[in-house]
Structures are given as structure tokens and as C-alpha cells.
């Protein structure tokens, strides 16, 4: 197929998905001799637009896995903000060393409904947003080399296509199952839906970076200690704060983090589908 543009499209509060999608898109574009464009819909302004693609495009679209699925706050945008127009697509999910569950299958299905042709897919293990002790240092050199090989293979497959491809087969339930239930260290469900980040006022310099980078636009620019909007626990504010002033103290949330650190120390490997 004659692909003239590869689009890196992503939601990435803490950066891992952005890194993955950029690398994959760049690798495919190099094989295809195509230009690369980027669409970042992490912030609310990025999801206020509608993006249209066509038959000359290959779209690498990535999101992080939240509770085993596509983040539910993204579904409205994915269903109305993207117009596939027959473009080839590569759904990509990044997960924090536990499992990607139904997320890749769900994302593939959303892209098909949007008019894309998903011909390849990937689920990539990365460091967990909740804790640097879960998959520390991921992606590492081994990961990056595997990502690059997949990008080259996917680019070559796209170049060799002479007609519409069959949708790539990926694991997952159809229809997708319920979201994963977070567990605490006692094995019981950890309920922290209403948990929000707190602020150490002695450390906070009121620079406003956390408010600007909150994917939900939920942190008050006037007083960053206030979070009047919804919190999806993405950890963007915690990880971006230059003063280390943002943190979570909710007991159920911390118990879940401790469970992840205890139970998911093994190395989860990436999964590639062509």
C-alpha cells in the first residue's frame, strides 16, 4: 500500500506511552519512507479536536492500560474524535508489569468502529505509574530493541499489503469484560475511586505545572492543592512536580500499591501481533 504519512497518536500522562508510540511510528516511517506527524491528546485541549485520516495514512495509536482496559474517560473521544477513513492502524497499549487484560482487544475494536484497519498491534510492559519498584527501568535496552524489530516488521508488512488486511488477532474477551478490581495487601478489593492527590504546602512553589499537565484539567491553577475535578490516578501531577510536593495518602490506594510491589516483581514481557 502507498503510505505517505505515519501518525503517532497517544494519551500519555507519565510519558511511557508517548515514548513507545514515537519509537514505533518512527521505525515504521523509516521502512515506508513516509513522513511522521504527531497528535498528543493527553490534555483536554487535544481531545477537543476531531482528527481525520485517510487511505495514505498509517496511525500508531497508544494508550496506557487502566484496570485492564482502555481508560474509560478516553472512550468518548475515541468514539467521536477520530475518523479513520480506511487508514491502516496499529493499536498499542502500555501496562505496568501486571497484565494488559482486555485493553488491546478493546482498543482494536474501537479503531475498527472508527473506520481504521488495524493490521498489527502491541502490548508493551513499562514501569508502573504508581511505583518505581514495579518494573523499574522499563523500558530497558532489551525492550527497546524488541520495539524496534516490531516496528520494522510492521512497516514491511504495511508496505507489502495489496489490499485491505484482515483485522489483527489479539487476545481478550469480546465483548470486553469488567475492569480489573484492584486488590490490597490483604487480598480484598481496594476501593480508592475517590482518592485524589494531596499537596505538601511547605514544598509547593505554586508553579502551576501540575494544573497545566493534569489530563483531566482537574487541578486548580489558582491553588494547586485543590482538586475540584475528577482524578483518574494517572500520577502525572506526582511525577511532574519539580518540588516533590504531590502525593497520595489514601490507605486503600497505598495498600494496592504495596500489593503490586509484592506480587508483580517478575518481568512481564511485551506482546506483538502481526
Q: Is 196 helix (H, G, I), strand (E, B) or coil?
A: coil
The pLDDT of residue 97 is 96
* Cα distance between residue 152 and residue 32, in whole Å: 9
Q: How many helices (H) and strands (E) does the chain have?
A: 7, 11
129 half-sphere exposure, CB direction, 13 A CA radius? 24
| Across 171-193, average pLDDT | 95
What class is the 5-177+268-273 domain?
A: alpha beta
Confidence bin at 196 (pLDDT 50/70/90) = very high
Whether residue 35 contacts residue 6, with contact meaning beta carbons closer than 8 Å, is answered with yes
* Cα distance between residue 103 and residue 176, in whole Å: 8
* Cα distance between residue 249 and residue 148, in whole Å: 39
**pLDDT tens, position by position, 130-176:** 999 999 999 999 999 999 999 999 999 999 999 999 999 999 998 99
Backbone angles phi, psi at 88, to 5 degrees: -70, 150
* Cα distance between residue 71 and residue 213, in whole Å: 17
| Across 198-210, average pLDDT | 97
What residues does CATH 3.30.70.20 cover in the chain? 198-249
pTM comes to: 0.97
* Cα distance between residue 240 and residue 236, in whole Å: 6
Strands annotated E in 34-149: 35-40, 51-52, 57-64, 82-83, 88-95, 117-118, 121-125
Confidence bin at 73 (pLDDT 50/70/90) = very high
What residues does CATH 3.40.50.360 cover in the chain? 5-177+268-273
* Cα distance between residue 176 and residue 75, in whole Å: 13
First to last CA, the chain: 16
C-alpha cell at 18: 508517548
What class is the 198-249 domain?
A: alpha beta
Check pLDDT > 90 for residue 1: no
- Please state at what angle helix 16-32 crosses helix 141-160, rounded to 10 degrees: 40
Backbone angles phi, psi at 65, to 5 degrees: -85, 125
Q: Is 89 helix (H, G, I), strand (E, B) or coil?
A: strand
* Cα distance between residue 42 and residue 242, in whole Å: 20
**pLDDT tens, position by position, 76-120:** 999 999 999 999 999 999 999 999 999 999 999 999 999 999 999
Amino acid at each position: 500500500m502507498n503510505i505517505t504519512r505515519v501518525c503517532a497518536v497517544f494519551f500519555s500522562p507519565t510519558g511511557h506511552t508517548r515514548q513507545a508510540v514515537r519509537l514505533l511510528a518512527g521505525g515504521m516511517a523509516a521502512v515506508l519512507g513516509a513522513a511522521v506527524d504527531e497528535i498528543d491528546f493527553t490534555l483536554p485541549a487535544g481531545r477537543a479536536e476531531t482528527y481525520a485520516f485517510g487511505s495514505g495514512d498509517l496511525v500508531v495509536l497508544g494508550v496506557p492500560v487502566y484496570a485492564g482496559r482502555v481508560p474509560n474517560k478516553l472512550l468518548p473521544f475515541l468514539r467521536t474524535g477520530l475518523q479513520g477513513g480506511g487508514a491502516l492502524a496499529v493499536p498499542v497499549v502500555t501496562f505496568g508489569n501486571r497484565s494488559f487484560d482486555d485493553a488491546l482487544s478493546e482498543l482494536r475494536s474501537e479503531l475498527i468502529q472508527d473506520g481504521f484497519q488495524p493490521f498489527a498491534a502491541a502490548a508493551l510492559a513499562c514501569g508502573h505509574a504508581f511505583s518505581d519498584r514495579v518494573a523499574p527501568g522499563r523500558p530497558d535496552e532489551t525492550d527497546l530493541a524488541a520495539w524496534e524489530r516490531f516496528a520494522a516488521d510492521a512497516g514491511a508488512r504495511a508496505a507489502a499489503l495489496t489490499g485491505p488486511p484482515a483485522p489483527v488477532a489479539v487476545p481478550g474477551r469480546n465483548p470486553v469484560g469488567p475492569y480489573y478490581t484492584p486488590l490490597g495487601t490483604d487480598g480484598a478489593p481496594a476501593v480508592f475511586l475517590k482518592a485524589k492527590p494531596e499537596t505538601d504546602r511547605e514544598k509547593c512553589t505554586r508553579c502551576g505545572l501540575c494544573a497545566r499537565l493534569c489530563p483531566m484539567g482537574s487541578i486548580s491553577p489558582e491553588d494547586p492543592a485543590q482538586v475540584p475535578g475528577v482524578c483518574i490516578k494517572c500520577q502525572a501531577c506526582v511525577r511532574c512536580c519539580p518540588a516533590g510536593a504531590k502525593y497520595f495518602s489514601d490507605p486503600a490506594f497505598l495498600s494496592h500499591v504495596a500489593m503490586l510491589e509484592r506480587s508483580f516483581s517478575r518481568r512481564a514481557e511485551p506482546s506483538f501481533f502481526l
